[in-house]
Structure 1
Amino acid sequence: MILTVVGCAGSVPGPDAACSCYLLEHDGFRLLLDLGTGALGPLQRFADPCAIDAVVLSHRHRDHCSDLMLLAYLRDRRGAPGRLPVIAPAGTQAHVTDPTPRDYERVLDWRDPPAAPFRLGPLTIETAPVRHSVPALAVRVTAGAASLTYSGDTGECTELLDLARGTGVLLCEAAASVETPGSGAAHLTPSQAAHLAKSAGAAHLVLTHLRPWADPMAALREARGVYGGPLSLAAPGLRVAV
C-alpha cells in the first residue's frame, strides 16, 4: 500500500499546499482520504480523477471536502463509468452538496460508515468517531499486514487511540501547533500527536494538517521530543510505503 500526500494544509490552502487530501493505492485500487480546498488540481498529478475508486471523508468542513463536488463535475463531464462510493459521517451529504446542482450528485454514491469493518476493493476500512466541532471520523485502512490510520480532525480521545493501536503509519493532524481560538478542544498539538503514536505503538508518524502560518520545523521538533520512531512531515508529493 502506498500513501501519496496530495494536500496537507490545515484550514486554508497555503502557498505550496492544498488542503487535506491523501491518496492510498493498493493492487490497482485508488482510495482518497478527504478532498479539501484546492486539492483536485494537484490530485491530477498523481492519478486520473476518473480512476479514483472510492472516497472517505473524515467530516464536512470545507478544508476536507470542498473539492468533492468539483471531482463529481469532472467525472460527469468526462463520462466516468459508474457511481463513486463516498463514505462520510451521517448528514455530511447535505452540507457538501448544497447548493450544488443535483445533476452532479448522480455521480456519487453516498454511504454512512458501517459500524463494523468493511471492504472497499482490496482494502479493509474501519472508522471511529472522534472529538471535533462537528461529527467526524478517524479511518484505519488495512491491506494484508499493512495498515494506515488517519486521524482526520480531532482532539484527544480514546477512540482514536484504540483505532490506531499497532498501525504501520499514523497520519495525524497537528493543527493546534499554533494558538488559534478554540483549537485545543478540536485539534491536536504535535506533542499530543507524538504521544498518541507512542501510546498506540505506531511504526511511523506523519504529521499533517499544519496551518499555513505554523512553523513546520517547530512542529517536527516538538513531536521528536516525545516520539522516537520514524517521523515525517507531510508535504505535497510525499510518498510513503505503508
Structure 2
Amino acid sequence: MRLTVLGCSGSTPGPHEPSSGYLLEAGDFALGVELGNGTLAELYAARDPLTLGGLVFSHLHPDHCADFSALTVLRRWHPDPSVDPRAHRLPVYAPKEAPSRFAAAYAPDREELTRTDLSDIYDFHPLAPGSRRIGPLEVTTFEVNHPPETYGFRFTHGGRTLAYTGDTGVCDSLDALAAGADVLLGEASWTHSDERPSGVHLSGLQLGELAARAGVSRLLITHVAPWTDPQAVLAEARVVFEGDIALVERGASYPV
C-alpha cells in the first residue's frame, strides 16, 4: 500500500495547505480517504479522480468532505462522451446522513433540494463498527470520540496495516484501532493542555502515548490546525514515542 497526502491542515485549510484528504493505493486500486477543502485539486495532481475505486469519510465536517460537491460536478458533467460515471456508481462509505447532507450541499436552491438524489452516480454505504472488504482492502471501522458520528479505520492489505484515527479525543477504541499497526496516521490538532476541551481532538502528547501503547512501527502526524506550531506538536509526541515519527506533508507519499 502507498499513502499520498492530498491535504493535512486541521479544522480549516491553511496557507497553501488543503484540509484533510488522502489517497490510499494498493496495486491498481485507489481509495480516497476524506475529501476536504482544496483536496480535489491535489487528487487531480496524483491521478484522475474518475479512477477512484471508492471513497471513505470518517465524518461529515467540511474540512473532511467539502470537495465532494466538486467531485459530483466532475462525475456528472465530464465533457468526454466516453466517460459515463453512471455506468459505475462510485462506492461511498460514510456516516448514515451522508446521502442527504451531500445532496443538500450540491442542490442549487431549496426547491431543487427536494428533487436532488445523488444515487445515480454514487453507491452509499453507511458506516458502523466492524470489518468489510473495499476492493482488495480489509477495512475495519471503529467509532471514535468526536462531536458528530465519527469513525477511525484500519486498512489491511498484503499483511500490512495502516491505522487512521480520523478526528477524535482520547477513547478506548483507539487502542484497538492502532494495535500493532505498521503505520499510524494520527490527528494531533493542538499542543497539550488541561484546558483543552475533551472529546474533540488529540494533542501531540496524547497521540504519541497512543502510538507507544499500540506498538506501531511508524507514526505520521496529521490534522495540525493552522494556528498551531506543528514542530511543537511533533516535539510533544517525541517525548513519549521513540519510534519512527514524522509530520505529513501535502503531496508526499509514504509506503505502508
Into which bin does the TM-score normalised by the smaller protein fall? over 0.9
Task: Report the aligned-residue RMSD.
Answer: 1.6
Matched, 1:94 2:100: yes
- Whether contact under 8 Å (1:17, 1:235) holds in the other structure is no
Equivalent AA in structure 2 for residue 107 of structure 1:
I
The aligned counterpart of 1:191 is: 205
Q: Percent identity?
A: 39
Q: For residues 184-203 of structure 1, give each alpha carbon's deviation from its aligned partner in whole angstroms, at most 9, with x where no partner exists.
A: 43100011001001111111
How much has 1:148 moved relative to structure 2? 0.4
Which residue does 1:128 correspond to in 2? 142
Who is 1:12 aligned against? 12
The residue type paired with residue 40 of structure 1 is L
Residue 236 (structure 1) aligned with residue 242 (structure 2)? no
Q: Using the TM superposition, give the Cα deviation of residue 92 of structure 1 relative to its aligned residue in structure 2, in angstroms.
A: 2.9
**1:105 Cα shift?**
4.5
Matched, 1:116 2:122: no
C-alpha distance in structure 2 between counterparts of 1:198 and 1:151, whole Å: 15
Say if 1:115 and 1:154 are closer, same or farther in 2 by CA, change over 3 A. Answer: closer
Counterpart amino acid of residue 157 in structure 2: A
Q: Structure 1: which 5+ runs fail to align? A: none
Residue 118 of structure 1 deviates from its aligned partner by: 0.9
Distance apart, 1:46 and its partner CA: 0.5
Task: Judge conservation of contact 1:178–1:214 (CA < 8 Å) in 2.
Answer: no
Shift of 1:130: 0.3
Asked whether the 8 Å contact 2:103–2:117 carries over to 1, the reply is no
- The TM-score, its normalising length taken from structure 1, stands at 0.94
* Equivalent position of 1:71 in the other structure: 71
Indicate how the Cα distance of structure 1 residues 178 and 38 shifts in structure 2: closer, same or farther if over 3 A, else same: farther
- Higher Cα radius of gyration: 2
Aligned-pair distance for 1:98?
Answer: 0.9
How many Å separate the matches in 1 of 2:119 and 2:67? 13
Q: Which runs of 5+ in 2 are unaligned?
A: 79-83, 108-115
For 1:82, the equivalent position in structure 2 comes to 88
Distance apart, 1:104 and its partner CA:
4.5
Tell whether the 8 Å contact from 2:165 to 2:177 is kept in structure 1 after alignment: no
Q: Deviations over 1:58-96 (max 9, x none)?
A: 001000011112112112222334111110122233223
1:95-133 deviations in whole A, cap 9, x for unaligned?
232142326552111101254311111111110000011
Aligned to 1:143: 157
Q: What code does the residue aligned with 1:215 have?
A: D
Structure 1 counterpart of 2:179: 165
- What residue is the counterpart of 1:226 in the other structure? 240
TM-score (norm 2): 0.89
Aligned length: 241
1: CA distance between counterparts of 2:17 and 2:192? Answer: 18
SS in 2 for 1:106: coil
Look up the match of 1:26: 26
Tell me the secondary structure at the aligned position of residue 160 of structure 1.
helix
Deviation at 1:141, TM superposition (A): 0.4
Q: Distance in 2 between matches of 1:70 and 1:117?
A: 29
Partner Cα distance (2:131, 2:171) in 1? 20
User: Aligned partners of 1:170, 1:195: CA distance in 2, in Å?
Assistant: 12
